[in-house]
């Protein structure tokens, strides 16, 4: 089986080389070997775990992984599931593009590989949302293929051991780290070595207060010798994030509130959120509000993205306390139900606190719903 790619170099070290030998000896005694995705290992489970672990801690991922594999035990099950259900199971993990790519990649595997997870590097790399490090981690973990990896933990270990100058997000620095990863990764026992490197970064060579005295690489680690671990890797250059305002309309009818599905592209793509407006005046002028009266302006809170801060003010409009017959020129039964039928669209979803809702929710929306849930369920 050829899992190689002409595009990227393979591992070049020997297991007897001092670096690999020290790392593997440490892993045998201290490495993590009982994580859920390490049991009855499959390409599908390792892929799922690798995607979930991007930007996310192991402890957070474990319950999500369990729910995902229970609902979608195979890649074909995932491909055949709805994107709404996938996003629902992902709610709370953040970085939702990962979930959308996961679903798209599962459909690629179903349609192009008959539901069998590909085993060559190029085929895995071609899957939606999969980069070089993820592809290497999957194939090395399950097939022991000689691919180096370079996730955040590995970057930190290598940056400190070799005292690599510069921020790891810069292309030149990343290229240097890839070359170092290729040079220290052995051509055998790759699964254990790559897992060991990730474990070292997560357990020993941590961002703050690393446990250098427990590190198997301490003797030849350049930053340990210089007592300068806090200088490596260099921090991302700081920049002031712009601030934006958003007003969320909470249109409430009994135990239900109105949510709308956002377009697939953009922030919170494919997720359900409250109708959003750039200003209070824009919200008041919207067809959804019309002549209805605002019931309450809730406390503003901040949600931070990687590139801006969003200050969110929830605005509650309770249809059950409106004198709709006097406000709206409705025919027949002048009640909330009639009003709702005039403003609903295909993108709308009435989130019912008394029911189980299997939809993907934007993180600040889930926060608001959780805060509303107690008062709504106790009043109805």
At 273, list the tokens.
């959120």
Tell me whether residue 188 is one of the annotated catalytic residues.
no
Contact 210, 201 (CB under 8 A): no
Q: Which residue has the tokens 């085929």?
A: 123
Render 140-154 in DSSP notation, one character per residue.
Answer: HHHH--------HHH
Burial of 239 (0-12, 13-18, 19+ CB in 10 A): exposed
Q: Which residues 6+ apart lie within 8 Å of 223 measured at CB?
A: 160, 161, 163, 229, 231, 232
Catalytic residue among 28, 50, 116, 334: 50
In total, the chain counts a number of residues equal to 380
At 300, list the tokens.
């503003």
Contact 181, 164 (CB under 8 A): no
Q: Which residue has the tokens 């000689």?
A: 146
Contact 259, 365 (CB under 8 A): yes
Backbone angles phi, psi at 320, to 5 degrees: -75, -15
Contact 14, 20 (CB under 8 A): yes
Q: Which residue has the tokens 């199971």?
A: 89
Bridge partners (DSSP) of residue 350 are 258
Catalytic residues: 50
């Amino acid at each position: 089986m050829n899992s190689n790619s002409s595009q990227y170099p393979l591992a070049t070290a020997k297991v007897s080389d001092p670096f690999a030998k020290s790392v593997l000896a440490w892993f045998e005694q201290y490495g993590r070997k009982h994580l859920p995705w390490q049991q009855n290992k499959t390409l599908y489970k390792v892929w799922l775990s690798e995607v979930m672990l991007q930007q996310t801690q192991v402890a957070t991922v474990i319950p999500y992984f369990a729910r995902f594999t229970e609902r979608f035990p195979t890649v074909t099950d995932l491909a055949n599931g709805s994107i709404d259900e996938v996003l629902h199971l992902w709610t709370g993990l953040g970085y939702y593009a990962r979930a959308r790519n996961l679903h798209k990649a599962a459909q690629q595997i179903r349609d192009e590989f008959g539901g069998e997870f590909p085993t060559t590097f190029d085929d895995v790399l071609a899957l939606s949302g999969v980069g070089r490090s993820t592809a290497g981690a999957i194939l090395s973990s399950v097939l022991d293929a000689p691919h180096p990896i370079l996730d955040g933990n590995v970057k930190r270990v290598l940056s400190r051991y070799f005292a690599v100058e510069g921020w790891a997000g810069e292309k030149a620095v990343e290229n240097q780290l890839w070359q170092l990863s290729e040079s220290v990764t052995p051509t055998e026992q790759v699964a254990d070595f790559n897992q060991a490197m990730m474990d070292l970064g997560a357990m020993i060579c941590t961002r703050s207060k690393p446990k250098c005295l427990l590190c198997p690489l301490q003797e030849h680690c350049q930053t340990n010798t210089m007592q300068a671990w806090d200088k490596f890797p260099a921090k991302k250059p700081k920049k002031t994030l712009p601030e934006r305002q958003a007003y969320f309309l909470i249109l409430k009818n009994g135990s239900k509130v109105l949510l709308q599905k956002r377009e697939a592209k953009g922030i919170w793509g494919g997720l359900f959120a409250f109708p959003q407006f750039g200003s209070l005046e824009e919200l008041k002028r919207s067809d959804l509000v019309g002549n209805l009266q605002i019931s309450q302006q809730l406390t503003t809170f901040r949600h931070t993205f990687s590139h801006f801060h969003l200050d969110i003010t929830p605005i509650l409009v309770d249809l059950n306390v409106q004198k709709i017959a006097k406000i709206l020129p409705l025919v027949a039964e002048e009640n909330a139900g009639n009003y709702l039928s005039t403003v609903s669209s295909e993108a709308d979803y009435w989130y019912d606190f008394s029911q189980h809702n299997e939809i993907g929710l934007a993180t600040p929306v889930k926060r608001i719903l959780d805060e509303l849930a107690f008062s709504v369920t106790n009043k109805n």
